[in-house]
Chains A and B, each alone.
Chain A
């Protein structure tokens, strides 16, 4: 029962807040073994009709005023603030201007849209706007309401809740997710868990104690988690500590905006070109039908013993269903060329993502990956984080796209070729869509009942930018120095004083520091100063700031402080300033608003 936070909790609840689908899994804390199940989520499927599904599509429809009453449910959600789920996803075809898609991608895209109400992107004026933060809160409120309706005897804010985030989420995106979660009614002590780790926990829960025979000390497991909109890479190594095998998450990749939906769209693009060549054109509604038809075609054509070709039909709109139906045949080889060779090309470990490959996904305001080749992204990840003698020995894949054996085999063969052929691959096709939620629930269960834990701490090292003193040259920015405030792998529940010169925080004006993270500089220690670095070594995210009032500082114009970094028990990174004289401490906050003013 070590550090069990909610002693009265009856359930472990895992929430996977996905880019395109959200799922909830739960397990009673009293049962052993832990066998999490999925929560059915009631949602609007058509005005006046509610149906329970195992996933809540992460789409938010902003209804017209006259529609709101028909979109009310017994869950007590307020339709005026947006309707999540199946109906919202269907409306993306007919009323795309009123539907927010991929809110999660906006949440980690630091330029805009996180807390500003700019979504749906480029919507006409009569449509209300929301921010990615509002949107995330709405999805979570819906999931919380679904839980309360199903378990009125066990309010969610008293349960052991685990919410997953991409491993690649930066501290500001995690903080926003936490704010949304608390606003939606999750308990104060809910835990954030990285999605690929959740997939590993799902694997561990399926293996039971057998996992200790599957891997040995010195092994490492590459986790490739391809979601609807993002791809997340993580490396977990196996070590021996006091005769026990321990797991440690040693590296995570950068945020890659390419996922299963891009693959279905790529196939739909191919088919629509083929249809155009045959003299048919599709309206937007038919295009979405085509997208769904292509998802089905993908699974059929790339299945084991799949057919050589598959007929894709898009029904006519309105009353001309049969007369307006357009059909074409898609050959298995064509589908394989687009999907397997396009997204998982064979490549060598020395290959790198191509910066200017055309992708066609640029039009919705998000910085989609310019190179959709996931194998090349994996190659770059392994080259950055492993050495030739420590390449992965195990591969765990997660995400619906891996239901296709052709895609699974291609990824596995490609990685195996780099690793000298010794690579054990794990997939449980039944879990591919739900492993993250199931694994999160299992993780919550182990917090109460015990079980193997993946160590890891922070995935990245964090830095703040400090302008160097010296002569200012008009028109030139002062040279910037990066100060490491947290090393990679800083453990949950620890803190570190950052050795540095005193820094003066001016009273009455925000003291703002540029903030950077690095997945690549694994050896930097806290207090390390960098005068120069490679462009790709440090990634800048939102600035972190602090505003002191005269109440904090007395009559002094500025307060000399040093920094202290903390990683909370719940996995949140925090940076604090503490006054050199006296005991005062202040927490710094990420500024996620739009940067219209230059930092002072």
Chain B
């Protein structure tokens, strides 16, 4: 209830200047009762003070910025690969991939979905989610052979965006020498 009101107050304020003025008045403690009583308590749902504010920047871009900053992954992928020999691509890819792996490890701490290695047998829980376990082939046996152990993030620890909204789509700055 409170959360829903918070969203309404937020989007209402964002797109309608009249609503915005009423919410402002409510926040300032002025008497707004004749408009809508619940809005007075709305702005601060417990534990979710920023619930109404959408992130200024997509977390996907934040991750891409981290991969570019630490591993130059975007630079590598934007190269015209056909111009270079396999050996040249390999030499550049090795450090880039190693550093990308280090970023993913820090941010997501990747782990397989199942402990068993490829080729080993694993028991699939009866209520297993198809997102976590994918059957290949038919049968009733609740166990099977691991073809791919899967991947999952054991944490999500992305950098926080504190920049201006107008910079929200910058992945890497242009560097200019003086």
Contact = CB atoms under 8 A, between A and B. Distances in A.
B160 interface: yes
Interface stretch (B65-73, B113-121, B142-150): B65-73
B162 to A, nearest CB: 5
Interface in B67-83: 69, 72, 75-76, 78-79, 81, 83
Contact of B167 (A51, A70, A74, A315): A70
Contact of B163 (A48, A51, A94, A323): A48
A229 B78 CA distance: 39
Nearest to B88: A322
A52 interface: yes
B159 A315 contact: no
B164 A70 contact: yes
B95 A313 contact: yes
Given A46-B69, A313-B95, A315-B92, A321 B161 contact: no
Contacts of B94: 311, 313
Contacts of B125: none
Contacts of A327: 91
16 contacts: A45-B66, A48-B163, A48-B164, A49-B162, A49-B163, A70-B163, A94-B175, A293-B95, A311-B91, A318-B175, A319-B75, A319-B78, A321-B72, A321-B79, A322-B79, A322-B84
B26 interface: no
Contacts of A182: none
Among B66, B83, B159, B170, chain A packs the most CB atoms within 10 A around the CB of B159
A321 B162 contact: no
Among all A-B residue pairs, the 5 with the closest Cβ atoms: A48-B163, A51-B159, A325-B92, A49-B159, A322-B92
B88 A323 contact: yes
Nearest to B96: A315
Contact of B173 (A47, A296, A321): A47
Interface in B18-68: 62, 65-66
A28 to B, nearest CB: 23
A157 interface: no
Given A46-B65, A316-B92, A323-B83, 9 more contacts: A46-B159, A48-B164, A49-B159, A49-B161, A70-B164, A313-B95, A315-B95, A318-B175, A327-B91
A534 to B, nearest CB: 51
Interface residues of A, number: 30
A311 B95 CA distance: 10
B2 interface: no
Nearest to B77: A321
A43 to B, nearest CB: 10
Contacts of B95: 293, 313-315
B84 A47 contact: no
A377 to B, nearest CB: 34
Given A46-B69, A49-B65, A325 B88 contact: yes
Contacts of A48: 161-164, 167, 170
A547 interface: no
Nearest to B171: A46
Nearest to A328: B91
Interface of A: 42, 45-52, 69-70, 72-74, 90, 94, 293, 296, 311, 313-316, 318-319, 321-323, 325, 327
Contacts of A321: 72, 75-76, 79, 92
Contacts of A322: 76, 79, 81, 83-84, 88-89, 92
Contacts, number: 81
Among B78, B92, B157, B170, chain A packs the most CB atoms within 10 A around the CB of B92
B42 to A, nearest CB: 24
Interface in B90-139: 91-92, 94-96, 98
Contacts of A314: 95
A236 to B, nearest CB: 36
Interface of B: 62, 65-66, 69, 72, 75-76, 78-79, 81, 83-84, 88-89, 91-92, 94-96, 98, 157-164, 167, 170, 173, 175
A517 to B, nearest CB: 43
A319 B175 CA distance: 11
A190 B76 CA distance: 49
Contacts of A50: 159-160, 162
Contacts of A90: 69
A489 to B, nearest CB: 45
Nearest to B172: A46
Contacts of B170: 48
Contacts of A49: 62, 65-66, 159-163
B114 to A, nearest CB: 27
Nearest to A47: B163
Given A47-B163, A48-B164, A325 B65 contact: no
A94 B76 CA distance: 20
A52 B163 contact: no
B162 A74 contact: yes
Contacts of A46: 65, 69, 159
A314 B160 CA distance: 29
A319 B163 CA distance: 25
Contacts of A45: 66, 69, 159
B167 to A, nearest CB: 6
Nearest to B107: A51
Contacts of A315: 72, 75, 92, 95-96
A420 to B, nearest CB: 44
Contacts of B167: 47-48, 70
A46 B171 CA distance: 10
A38 to B, nearest CB: 14
A48 B175 CA distance: 16
B62 A313 contact: no
B157 to A, nearest CB: 7
Nearest to A71: B162
Contact of A52 (B76, B157, B173): B157
A562 B159 CA distance: 59
B60 to A, nearest CB: 14
B13 to A, nearest CB: 23
A53 to B, nearest CB: 8
Contacts of B89: 322
B91 A313 contact: yes
Contacts of B72: 315, 321
A170 to B, nearest CB: 39
Contacts of B91: 311, 313, 325, 327
Contact of A72 (B75, B162, B173): B162
Contacts of B159: 45-46, 49-51
A42 B159 CA distance: 9
A325 B79 CA distance: 12
Contacts of B160: 42, 49-51
A319 B79 CA distance: 8
A325 B66 CA distance: 21
A325 B75 CA distance: 12
